[in-house]
Amino acid sequence: MSNHKSNVANPAPLGLLGFGMTTILLNLHNAGIIPLSAVIISMGLCLGGFAQLIAGVMEFKAGNTFGATAFIAYGSFWWSLVAIWLLPSLVPQGGVQAADEVSMGFYLLLWAVFSLGMFIGTFKHNMASRVVFGSLVLLFFLLSLGDFTGSHFIKTIAGYEGIFCGCSAFYSAVAQIINNEFQRDVLKL
């Protein structure tokens, strides 16, 4: 084992930024404020997916199992969601059936259960992490319930809750960057 100090930056702000900004955009759609468009799909692939995967690999290198699992899993979530939206139109006619509300309900429910486990892990972390993951659990459960019931009202409520979730991740990312730059707690976590 080497006593050499690592000069690798903290990847968490990048991962949180990727998660937060993409979550805000998608949930502006879920809340009925903007349409689902190339803007959301591109953000899901590039920042939500790719940036989180990079942050996750960096967390693995740093020995942070929680951060690595979170960023790689949620980065993959964004890529899988984009694939769910696009595959039916990319595969020759009849090759891939579009997702229905029941299958989406189960997809989102699995993410809710995973997120609940991650939320429990945040009990050893700062309050900002608990807010991000706690609100994410609620978001996935609401989205799942909205799909299972076909309730537009529940999906709209989920959208506003998701905007909050994304903003909490965005805050945590920016707070970590600012606190690191000033070498003190300027913004509370």
Q: What is the DSSP string of 102-121?
A: HHHHHHHHHHHHHHHHHHHH
Q: What is the pLDDT of residues 81-128, one digit of tens each?
A: 999 999 988 887 767 889 999 999 999 999 999 999 999 999 999 999
Predicted structure pTM score: 0.93
Question: What is the rounded end-to-end Cα distance, in angstroms, of the chain?
Answer: 32
120: Cβ–Cβ under 8 A, 6 or more apart, which residues? Answer: none
| Count of structural domains within the chain | 1
With respect to residue 49, please indicate whether it lies within any of the assigned structural domains. Answer: yes
With respect to residue 38, please indicate whether it lies within any of the assigned structural domains. Answer: yes
CA-based nearest residue to 132, from 66, 62, 65, 44: 66
With respect to residue 189, please indicate whether it lies within any of the assigned structural domains. Answer: no
pLDDT-above-90 percentage for the chain: 89
Both tokens assigned to 70: 């979170």
Residue 29: give the domain boundaries: 12-182
